[in-house]
Structure 1
Amino acid sequence: MHIAVMGAGAVGCYYGALLARAGHAVTLIGRPALVEAVHAHGLWLESAAFTGPVPLQASTDPAAARQAELVLFCVKSGDTETAGAQLRPHLAPDAQVLSLQNGVDNAARLEQVLGRSVIPAVVYVATEMAGPGQVRHRGRGDLVIGPSPRSAALAMQLGQAGIPTTVSDTVHEALWAKLVINCVYNALSAIGQQPYGALIQAEGARQVMADVFAECLAVAGAQGITLPETMCQDTVAISVSMAGQRSSTAQDLARGKPSEIDHLNGSIVRLGAACGIATPVNRSLWCVVKLLEARAG
């Protein structure tokens, strides 16, 4: 299968590497530094199962997706519309598009731009870019994807490439559960530049995280979202299963790049305001991260 990864950062590079190793023709679409490194040495994957170069293609041009049967759409949430518009002229008529993004509304926003259906996916993976063309896997790697006529076959193909994938009719609720976890961890990890395991041990951090969690649950309830009864335990468990991982927001700030905070804690602030729910802790974290972004910029 021909596969394109639009917005090849840590998540896209990791899944692209697994699919290439499984024999698929993968093209990463990303920044010049990534493309130059891949052209010179291949994509370097560091994981428990395999460490070494992975041969695949790379380009800075969205037109490289023109032969793709599957597009993994991995751009930052704030770039969804712009990147979607760049991709649209080059999509094959029968290409599947899978949104591997944070936040709860990216698939719907992308559908509006592309004029076709987009399969939402919830991504559970700890990964980071260790340098240009170097992706480091720290844990997990499973996906939950939304239903479609082709989702079952797609899940099977992904599973055969070492990407455990479940098709779920409640993917929107799963996206919300992931949003809550991101709101609890990402901003604090970014502000302190701490991995999850150390973060939860910091003085006062557990109470702040509990306050964020409570605000998120209140907003989710107002939106009619039913979250798992194990949501609290699942959130705490991340500090163990991904103890060494810094959040994507922390990685963005460390590199002086814009983060997705507007679509994480910022989403809770906006939705809370719309339904009359106060979210002062989420607002504070969102504000501090925005200030740090401005300083880095």
Structure 2
Amino acid sequence: MKVAVMGAGAVGCYYGGMLARAGHEVVLIGRPQHVEAVQRDGLRLEAQSFDERVMLSASTGPAAVRGAELVLFCVKSTDTEAAGAQLLPFLTPQTLLLTLQNGTDNADRLRTVVPQEVAAAVVYVATEMAGPGHVRHHGRGELVIEPSSASAAVAQTLIAAGVPTEVSDNVRGALWAKLILNCAYNALSAITQLPYGRIVQGEGVKDVIASLVSECTAVAQAEGVILPPDIDGAVRKIAATMPTQFSSTAQDLARGKRSEIDHLNGFILRRGEALGVATPVNRVMHTLVRLLESKQA
């Protein structure tokens, strides 16, 4: 299968690297420093059970997507429409775009830009870019994919490449569950610049996380979302299974980049206001992260 990764950060490089390692033709589309390193030395994929150089293509331009049967769409939520428009001239009618992004509405937003089939995916993986062309895997790696004409085949391809993958009829609920996990941890990790395992050891933190989760769950229920069972257990599992992981929001702030906080706690804040659900703790988290971003500007 020919696969293009649009937005080859930590998530895109991990899944693109796993597919390339399994023999698929993969091109990473990303920032110049990573592209140059991959073109020169291959992608260093430092997983929990192996550390290898994976040879694959890399480019800084959207034209590299030409001919791809599958696009792993991994850009930041703030860039969804713009990145989709950049890809549009180079997509074939049969291309499937799989959104591997934080937030609940990226697939819907991408569908307003491209006529090709779009399927949402929920991502459960702990990764970071440890250097140019070097992705480090801290844990997990499962995907939950929305049904589409090609989802079953793509799922089997991913499974064969070592990526646990499930096709689910309730991806909306799974996306909201992932959003709740992000709202519980991302801002706290960004504000403190601590990994999940350290965060939960802090005084009063478990009560703050419980309040964040309670607010998010109330907004989801007001939206009519059917959440998976035991959200609280899933929240606890994050710190247990990814203790060394810094949130993507923390990584963005550490690099002086704009984060996705408007699509995480900020999204809960906006939907809560629209639905008459109070979200004061999410408001505080959103406000603090935005202040830290403005401090760096």
Task: Report the TM-score range of the alignment, normalised by the length of the smaller protein.
Answer: over 0.9
Q: Which amino acid aligns with 1:111?
A: R
Shift of 1:52: 2.1
1:75 aligns to what?
75
> Quick check: 46-55 or 25-34, which moved more?
46-55
Name the amino acid aligned to 1:190.
Answer: A
Task: Indicate the residue corresponding to 1:257 in structure 2.
Answer: 257
Q: TM-score, normalised by structure 2?
A: 0.99
Secondary structure of the residue that 2:246 maps to in structure 1?
coil
Distance 1:101 1:87 in 2: 17
CA apart distance, 1:228 = 2.4
8 A Cα contact 2:127 2:245, kept in partner: yes
1:48 is matched with 48
Give the counterpart letter for 2:42 in structure 1.
Answer: G
SS in structure 1 at match of 2:117: coil
Instruction: State the distance in 2 between where 1:15 and 1:228 align.
Output: 25
Alignment of 1:30 with 2:34, yes or no, is no
Whichever residue aligns with residue 271 of structure 2, its letter is L
For 1:1-297, list aligned pairs within 5 A.
Answer: 1-297=1-297
Q: Deviations over 1:105-134 (max 9, x none)?
A: 000100110123201000000000001111
Aligned equivalents of 1:107 and 1:151: distance in 2?
14
Deviations along 1:276-296, one digit per CA (max 9) or x if unpaired, are 111111011001101111112
Secondary structure of the residue aligned to 2:226 is coil
Return structure 1 stretches of 4+ with deviation > 3 angstroms: none
- Contact in 1 for aligned 2:158/2:165 (Cα 8 Å): yes
Q: Which runs of 5+ in 1 are unaligned?
A: none
Post-superposition offset of 1:13: 0.3
Q: Aligned partners of 1:214 and 1:250: how far apart in 2?
A: 23
Between the aligned partners of 1:135 and 1:109, the Cα distance in structure 2 is 28
Q: Which amino acid aligns with 1:15?
A: Y
3-state secondary structure, aligned to 2:149: coil
Describe the superposition over 1:194-244 as per-residue Cα deviations: whole angstroms up to 9, x where unpaired. Answer: 111110111111111111111101100100012123111111111101111
Equivalent pairs, count: 297
Tell me the SS of whatever aligns to 1:53.
strand
Q: Offset of 1:65 from its aligned partner? A: 0.2
Report the Cα distance in structure 2 between the residues aligned to 1:206 and 1:132, rounded to whole angstroms: 35
Contact in 1 for aligned 2:93/2:116 (Cα 8 Å)? no
Partner SS, residue 142 of structure 2: strand
Partner-residue secondary structure (3-state), 2:257: coil
Q: What secondary structure, in the 3-state scheme, does the structure 1 residue paired with 2:3 have? A: strand
Q: CA deviation at 1:186?
A: 0.3
Q: Distance in 1 between matches of 2:278 and 2:230?
A: 24
The 3-state SS of whatever aligns with 1:176 is helix
Task: Write the distance in 1 (CA, Å) between the matches of 2:24 and 2:260.
Answer: 30
- The DSSP-based 3-state class of the residue aligned with 1:213 is helix
Query: Whole-Å Cα distance in 2 between the matches of residues 158 and 64 of structure 1?
Result: 21
Report the CA distance between 1:43 and its aligned residue: 0.8
Q: Which stretch of the first structure deviates more once superposed, 164-173 or 43-52?
A: 43-52
Q: 2-side partners of 1:96 and 1:84: how far apart?
A: 12
The amino acid that maps onto 1:45 is: L
Partners of 2:14 and 2:49 in 1: CA distance: 12
